[in-house]
Chain A
Amino acid sequence: MFEQIVFYAFAAGLIFAAFMVITVRNPVHAALFLVAGFFASAGLWLLLEAEFLAIALVLVYVGAVMVLFLFVVMMLDINITVLREGFTANLPIAGIVAFLMLAAIGLVVGRHHFGLTEIPAPQAAGADYENTAALGRVLYTQYLLPFEIAAVVLLVAIIAAIALTLRSTRQTKAPRPERQVRVTRAERVRLVSMAAEKPAPADAPEA
């Protein structure tokens, strides 16, 4: 009973947060609601006895990824009114399509097919069960290849990020002391030989 209350509380929180992410006006608030959404899913994962993953979600996504994301959102100069144009115009059609999709999905992925009689709840693990150790064991044995490919995907992401943002031309200006002290007079002073006085033009108009 208690488990169900907790589940519904977190699930409702997750749906609310997800809805707010796409509807609030302020992008910073949207990012903060996304953080709330991550917290709610971490709670759900705890209920599923995936403790390590739940904590990793909070540490990595809430702690690192979203903070960076917030910085990016704050630094970008987003004109929200321009982005919002056409949002309400398409809402009726989009709403109908979304509702129909939701109803169809609800019919298929409902109690009839995923109920407790069709798919019984797994046995709860004992007190000495170590989530982290079990995860580590399959990650480095059974799922070694996917794990390595994921690493390559991250490498490509790094290369792509650098390729898309690095400006090869120098944009920062800094003094170079080693060149400053070696400067010679010829580089700084140019002697120009010229007449001492500029002669007045012969046919200058009278003032």
Chain B
Amino acid sequence: MARNPILALAFVAPALLFLAAILAWPLVSAFLLSLQNVRGVGTSGQWVGFENYRFILTNGAFWDSAGLSLAWVLANAVLQTLLALAAALILHQKFPGVRVARTWIILTWIVPTVVVVMIWRWLFSTSGGMINPLMMQAGITDRPIGFFATPESAFATLVFINSWRWFPFIALMMLAGLTRIPSELYEAARIDGAGPVRRFTRITWPLLAPTLTVLLIIGTLLSFNVFDIIWLMTQGGPAGGTRTLPVLIYETAFRSYRMSEAATIAVLSTLLLMTFAIVATRSLARSGDER
């Protein structure tokens, strides 16, 4: 088709300019802020070069949070993907009520995070919650478990809650990938006498793999950025056990009033994440070319 630069510009420019003003420019401002020593919101500071970077990178708190963020991303990726894959495979089958199930599985994702947090805080609570009495009745434990009492259990509980919120969304995206696998393949396999397990390993898995990779990348970016669930639930505690990088950024900026240091951590996190995103999409594009 003929090139029509003016038309293309009219179609694309509003969206691009909007994103530039609301996302890209603040990102540049955050970088400029990281080169100064601003403390409270709205106050001014002096230029200090890369002094903040030297301070943050030699600071244990940053590396602790970076480690936690890595663990957070990995744990969520595993749990979220497994739940989503199982759910997508079930929703791909034919059974009465499958349309209803496909629509309403998303319930966990359309509810405000504040409500998600409230629901699970109540359910996991040691006084009045549902989970502890049920577990005691079932004989799993003989006294209430404090799910948010230790750093490790709080972290694990939050991973569960976050994956609970996100897995249906990912399951639907996987379902989209599953429905694109031609059904003739399954028919042919069935005629050849292949059972469900073989059909899965020989057809579903290889054909779904590209979709899974894309969703793993998206899931990684999404879960790295999760802040509200963690903050509302534990505020990064107990003992910093759930203080991932976004929580550390918020705390540094709005609790300790060290804007420039917060911006520095933010810029470093962005570098980490962008590197991951670029490397991941590059290798994805390459494997796509080979196919």
A binds B: no
